[in-house]
Amino acid sequence: MIHASVRAVGAVHGGPDEIHCAVEDAVGPGGTVMMFVGCQDGFDDVGRGVYSAAQEAEILAHQPPFDPQSARAQRDFGALAEFFRSSPGTVCSEAVCGRVAARGAKAGWLVADAPWNYGFGPGSPFAKLVEARGRVLLLGSSHDEVTVLHYAEHIADFGDKRVVRYRVPWREGGRRVWRDVEEFNTGGDGVHAHWPHDFFARIVDDFLRSNECGRGRVGNADSFLLDATALVKHALPLMQRQAAQKEPVL
C-alpha cells in the first residue's frame, strides 16, 4: 500500500506515473499495489453536517450516481492517487467508504466484496492487506495519514467510538437512488474524544523507533517500508490505553 507525496519525491523523469510504476517493478509480477483513493466531494457528504441545508439540497438534486470504477480520487489524497487509479489495469473497490484502487496479482481479491458499512473494518481491503501480511510504503508522506490504522480503530476493543452516517448516490435498476451508509468516524476529530492531535503519526513514529523497517531516500523523500500486520498489532494496545485516558499516551 502506497502513501506518497509527489512534491516530496521531487522531479521524476517521465512524470509522477513513474513512481507507482517503479513500485510495481519492485514488487514484481506476483505482487499487488494498492492506494486509498476515496472519492470527490459530494458523493459521501450528505448527512455529515459539513454542508448547509441549501447545499445538501443542491447535491441531492443534481449529484450523479457514484461509479466506483470511473469516479476520480479525492483531491486531498494527492496527485499520485488519481494517476494510479486511472492507469490501465487498475480496479477499485465498489463501496464509497474506504474505497481503494489496486493493480497486480491479488487486486481482484483485494477489492472484492468491500463492505458498504464500516468500510475500514473486517472484510475491507485494509483487513485483507493485514491478512496477506502486506506492507505500507511511505514515500515522503505524512505519518498521520497511514490509512490501515483506521482498520486498527475498527477492531480495537474500546467503547464510545464516534459513528458518522451519510448518503451516497447509487445507480440501481437504471435509476439513481440514495444509499444510507455508516462508519466509525475517520475524519479529523477522530473516532474517539480522547484522540490527541496527530495520533496516527505518534503511533507510526513509535513503531519506527521500536521495529526494524526499511528506510531510505526515494528521490528527495525520506521513505519507510512498514509491516502492516505488525503496525496494527502495535497500535491496538495504544488505542485502547488512549481511549481510557485523556492525556496522550505517546
Q: Which three cell numbers stand for residue 122?
A: 473486517
**CA–CA separation, 192 and 166 (whole Å):** 19
The pLDDT value given to residue 24: 96
- Look up the pTM and report it: 0.95
Express each pLDDT in 106-129 by its tens digit: 999 999 999 999 999 999 999 999
What pLDDT score does 229 carry? 98
Is 188's pLDDT higher than 90? Answer: no
pLDDT at 93: 98
Banded pLDDT at 183 (limits 50, 70, 90): very high
Q: Where are the alpha helices (DSSP H) in the chain?
A: 6-9, 17-27, 53-62, 79-85, 107-111, 125-131, 148-155, 199-210, 228-244
User: Considering the chain, what is the average pLDDT of its residues?
Assistant: 96
Query: What confidence score (pLDDT) does residue 2 get?
Result: 98
- pLDDT bin (cut points 50, 70, 90) of residue 187 is confident
